[in-house]
Amino acid sequence: MLHIQIIQVGKTKEKLFKAAEQEFNKRLSKYAKITTHTVEDNGKIMNQIEKGAFTVALEIKGKQFSSEEFADFIKRRQFAGEKLTFIIGGHLGLPVEIVNDCQAKLSLSKMTFTHQMVRVFLLEQIYRAYTILEGKKYHY
């Protein structure tokens, strides 16, 4: 089971996004071990990254994947036996030094979304990736 670590800056304050995060975390629990670290500010990100983890910064100018390409990316990490760490900035985004340090930069959209929505989108895409890898029908 892949260990996926999500490091995020700032708490999710909106109830409805919190509920969505919980729901996708629940659905994902059968596919991957997800641990979420919520830190107060950007300065506390680096300490949270697990040793040897493959790091991915969520960054609007990063690379866009289709859901199938993203599923393939997840599969490759799982085969490599690596931990996978996604880093989501707060409302001011991530500092350029952290982005540059990450092994991959992932952009979900050219549009700016709130960091709280980004968390839900990312979890949904990880969940979707597993359903793609399983060949499972998923839409609702």
Positions in the binding site for its own copies (CB under 8 A): 13-14, 16-17, 19-20, 23, 64-67, 70, 91, 108-117, 120-121, 124-125, 128, 139-140
Residue 40, phi then psi, degrees to nearest 5: -75, -40
Rg of the chain, C-alpha, whole Å: 14
| CB of 17 vs its own copies, minimal distance in Å | 8
User: Whose Cβ is closer to its own copies: residue 9's or residue 49's?
Assistant: 9
| CB of 81 vs its own copies, minimal distance in Å | 26
Contacts of 6 (CB under 8 A, 6+ apart): 34, 35, 36, 37, 85, 86, 88, 119, 122, 123
Q: Please tell me what DSSP assigns to residue 40.
A: S
Q: Which of 82, 100, 94 is nearest to 58 (CA)?
A: 94
User: Whose Cβ is closer to its own copies: residue 49's or residue 71's?
Assistant: 71
| CB of 116 vs its own copies, minimal distance in Å | 7
User: Whose Cβ is closer to its own copies: residue 50's or residue 105's?
Assistant: 105
User: Whose Cβ is closer to its own copies: residue 102's or residue 124's?
Assistant: 124
**Cα 20 to Cα 26: distance, rounded to the nearest angstrom:** 10
| CB of 50 vs its own copies, minimal distance in Å | 25
